[in-house]
Amino acid sequence: MYRRALLLLTAVSFGCNLFAGTITYTRTIGLQPTNWDEQIVIPKYDGALPLLSVYFALGGDVQADITITNGTEIPNDVTAFASGSLQLTRPDATSILAIFPYSSSMWSLGPAPDFHIFPTITASDSTNLTSTSAGDLALFSGSGDISLPIHGIGTSGGSGSGTVNVLASTAARADVTIRYEFDETPEPAASLLFGSGLVGLALLLKKRG
């Protein structure tokens, strides 16, 4: 009985090694015509334990509906492309993350006035960053919420081997993840008190056994 209890207590004791906790928030800006300016709002880190880092992830899509008309009297090879940028910034407008989705599609047009309506073209991109800078740790700590601007810009269009007329509309969406990582290392005094309690419990079990 005592031996089993001692093994259990040893396992629990070693379970108190250094580790970190996390709090994660996700926000989405739905698909809407570009260009747009939005904001995401998340709670600041308001824990008693030290904040170690802030993780940022930005992903998104750009969608384009494009029609290209040949402007020449000869066949024309044309390219339609969905492109744009999505940028997440701090409240002071300094950049945190930016992505630049791009995708293209080609078509061969006959002489003018031949045209082609391209199926919706979708481009995707993503990136992430872990910040341990003192400025970001201070910015994201405290009570209340923090608002982060996010900007969606569309630059979709088309081109050809000759003159073309391009009609393009662009929409964009974005997904943002922010994760706080904080220190969960037991305080020395708490660790000592916990260890003393384990020893006392082991001795008590030994007497009873």
DSSP 190-208: HHHHHHHHHHHHHHHHHHH
List the beta bridge partners of residue 147: 41
Q: What is the mean pLDDT of residues 1-29?
A: 61
Grouping H, G, I as helix, E, B as strand and the rest as coil, residue 156 is: coil
Whose tokens are 């945190």? That residue is 96
Kind and range of the H or E element at 2?
A: helix 2-14
The 8 Å CB, 24+ separation contacts for 187-194 are: 191/16, 194/13, 194/16
- Domains annotated on the chain, with CATH: 20-187 (2.60.120)
Q: The tokens 């000869």 sit on which residue?
A: 74
Is residue 31 pLDDT above 90, yes or no? yes
- Output the six-digit token pair for 50: 């030290």
pLDDT of residue 16: 39
Question: pLDDT tier at 13 (50, 70, 90 boundaries)?
Answer: very low
Contact 146, 85 (CB under 8 A): no
Arithmetic mean of pLDDT, 13-23: 60
* pLDDT tens by residue, 131-169: 999 999 999 999 999 999 999 999 999 999 999 999 999
Q: What are phi and psi of 189, to 5 degrees?
A: -65, -40
User: Is 170 within 8 Å of 34 (Cβ atoms)?
Assistant: yes
Mean local confidence (pLDDT), 101-125: 98
pLDDT for 46: 96
C-alpha span between 76 and 74 (Å, rounded): 6
Please tell me the distance from the alpha carbon of residue 67 to that of residue 75, in angstroms, as a whole number.
Answer: 16
Q: Is the pLDDT of residue 19 over 80?
A: no
Is the separation of the CB atoms in 129 and 55 below 8 Å?
yes
Give the pLDDT band of residue 52 (cuts 50, 70, 90).
very high
Taking the C-alpha atoms of 45, 48, 51 and 54 in order, what is their torsion angle to the nearest 10 degrees? -20
Average pLDDT over residues 37-61: 97
Rounded to an integer, what distance in angstroms lies between the CA atom of residue 102 and that of residue 80? 11
pTM of the model: 0.80
Nearest partner of 42 among 182, 132, 142, 173, judged by Cα: 142
| 86 neighbors 58 (Cβ within 8 angstroms) | yes
The pairing of strands 145-154 and 36-43 is antiparallel
